[in-house]
C-alpha cells in the first residue's frame, strides 16, 4: 500500500499535518498507536494556554502568531468550540528573564500587553494575592485552547479532505533509502506501507523510533501532573479570571479558570520524573509533591480556591534546552521530524502541522525554524 505521504503519530502535530497535506490533494495516511484524541500522550486534560508575548523567547512570537491565525481558520471550519479568549496573566519578577521576554515580545511585535503592579493585579482579580515583588503582564487577546476539541476538529477536517487514518497501529520499523526513494513502514499488527515522504511526530516515543534513522535525539519523557480544584464562585470562572503562567525563579506554574464549572486547573511546569512511556504512569497523588506543591502554590497566591477535585498525569518530552525539534532528516530529506515539545508545544500545533507539511512537499517553509534545527545537538 503506497501513499504520497505518511504521518506517523496523529496526535496534535501529526493530525494537523495530515489536514494540511490532505487539503493540498495529497494521498496521505495517518498512523497512530492509539485513537486520538486520547490520554496516552501529551494532549489530554481539556485545556492549554495560547500566549503570544512569549516568556520562553522572542523567537517564538511569529510562530505563535501564525499558529493563532491557523486556529482561527480551523474555528471557522468546525462547529466545535476550540478557543476561549480569557486573556492570560504572565507573572514573575521584574528582573526575571520570563517577564523581560514577555515585555520585549510585546514591544517588538506591537502586541497588546498591560504591565501591572502586584497591587493592581490583586485589585483587578480579587482571587489573587500577589506579593509586592511580582509583576503581572496581562495579554487580553490570548486565552485557552480546548485540546481534545482541536484534535477532533482537525481529524474530522482531514478525513473530509480525503486523508486516511489507521488507528491502534503502532509503527515498529522505518526503513528509508538513499536518494529520496520511498520509505517502508511496518506496524506492530504486520501491515507494511510505503511512502514518498514521511512525517515522524510520535511524542514521547520519538527517541526510540528515530534511533532506527541513525538519530540519537536527546529527548526525555517525564511524568507530569495537574489537578482541578473547587472554584464555585465567580472569582475564578472563565468570565472573570484569566489563564495564568507564573515564573517564580525556582519554580514555574500554569493554570486555567474554571471552564464550564470544571474547577480551577493548576499544574507545575518545571520538574517531573523521567519515565518509560510504555509503562503505566503512577497515578496522581502517589508521588510525593504531586498534591503538596500545588496546594502550597494556591495557599500563597490563590487562597480562596477550594478543595482538590481531581488530579491526572501526562507526559512532557523534554529537550536539553527546552526548545523544539522541527527539521528534515540530515540524510533522508524526505523525512520530516517534529519532536521534543518540552511541555509548551500544543499552542503551536496548527503551525507545526503546516510547517512539516511544507517540508515534505517543498523542502522548505516560510517561518524561521532555525532555532529548532537538529544541528544544535551535533
Which residues are part of the catalytic machinery? 44, 47-48, 265, 269, 314, 347
- CA dist., res. 266 & res. 297, Å (int): 9
Q: Contact, 4 vs 162, CB < 8 A? A: no
Report whether the peptide linkage leading into residue 37 is cis, meaning its omega lies within 30 degrees of zero. Answer: yes
Indicate the pairing of strand 88-93 with strand 243-247: parallel
- For 249-333, strand residue ranges (E) read 252-256, 264-268, 273-274, 308-318, 325-328
Count of C-beta atoms within a 10 Å radius of residue 57 = 15
What distance lies between CA 13 and its chain's CA centroid? 8
What are the φ/ψ torsions at residue 335 (nearest 5 degrees)? -125, 120
What are the φ/ψ torsions at residue 72 (nearest 5 degrees)? -65, -40
Q: Contact, 7 vs 14, CB < 8 A? A: yes
- CA dist., res. 251 & res. 218, Å (int): 23
Query: What residue has cell string 501591572?
Result: 116
Count of C-beta atoms within a 10 Å radius of residue 239 = 9
Amino acid at each position: 500500500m503506497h501513499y504520497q505521504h505518511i504521518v506517523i503519530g496523529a496526535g496534535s502535530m501529526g493530525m494537523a499535518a495530515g489536514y494540511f497535506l490532505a487539503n493540498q490533494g495529497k494521498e496521505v495516511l495517518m498512523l497512530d498507536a492509539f485513537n486520538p484524541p486520547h490520554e496516552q500522550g501529551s494532549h489530554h486534560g481539556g485545556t492549554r494556554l495560547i500566549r503570544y508575548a512569549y516568556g520562553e523567547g522572542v523567537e517564538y512570537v511569529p510562530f505563535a502568531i501564525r499558529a493563532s491565525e491557523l486556529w482561527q481558520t480551523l474555528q471557522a471550519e468546525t462547529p466545535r468550540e476550540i478557543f476561549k479568549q480569557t486573556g492570560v496573566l504572565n507573572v514573575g519578577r521584574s528582573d526575571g528573564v520570563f517577564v523581560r521576554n514577555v515585555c520585549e515580545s510585546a514591544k517588538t511585535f506591537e502586541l497588546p500587553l498591560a504591565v501591572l503592579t502586584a497591587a493592581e493585579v490583586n485589585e483587578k482579580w480579587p482571587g489573587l494575592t500577589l506579593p509586592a515583588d511580582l509583576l503581572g503582564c496581562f495579554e487580553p487577546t490570548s486565552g485557552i485552547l480546548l485540546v481534545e476539541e482541536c484534535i477532533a476538529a482537525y481529524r474530522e477536517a482531514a478525513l473530509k479532505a480525503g486523508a486516511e487514518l489507521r488507528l491502534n497501529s503502532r509503527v515498529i520499523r522505518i526503513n528509508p533509502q538513499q536518494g529520496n526513494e520511498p520509505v517502508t513502514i511496518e506496524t506492530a499488527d504486520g501491515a507494511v506501507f510505503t511512502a514518498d515522504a514521511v512525517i515522524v511526530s510520535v511524542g514521547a516515543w520519538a527517541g526510540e523510533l528515530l534511533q532506527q534513522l541513525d538519530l540519537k535525539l536527546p529527548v526525555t519523557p517525564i511524568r507530569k501532573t495537574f489537578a482541578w480544584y473547587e472554584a464555585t464562585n465567580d472569582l475564578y470562572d472563565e468570565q472573570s479570571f484569566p489563564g495564568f503562567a507564573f515564573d517564580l525563579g525556582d519554580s514555574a506554574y500554569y493554570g486555567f479558570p474554571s471552564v464550564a464549572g470544571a474547577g480551577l486547573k493548576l499544574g507545575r511546569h518545571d520538574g517531573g520524573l523521567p519515565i518509560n512511556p510504555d509503562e503505566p504512569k503512577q497515578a496522581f497523588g502517589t508521588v510525593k509533591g504531586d498534591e503538596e506543591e500545588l496546594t502550597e502554590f494556591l495557599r500563597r497566591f490563590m487562597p480562596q480556591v477550594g478543595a482538590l477535585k481531581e488530579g491526572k498525569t501526562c507526559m512532557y518530552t523534554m529537550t536539553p534546552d527546552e526548545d523544539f525539534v522541527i527539521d528534515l532528516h540530515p540524510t533522508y530529506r524526505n523525512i520530516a521530524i517534529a519532536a521534543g515539545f518540552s511541555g509548551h508545544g500544543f499552542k503551536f500545533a496548527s503551525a507545526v502541522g503546516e510547517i512539516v507539511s511544507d517540508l515534505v512537499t517543498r523542502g522548505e517553509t516560510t517561518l524561521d525554524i532555525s532555532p529548532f534545527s537538529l544541528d544544535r545537538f551535533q
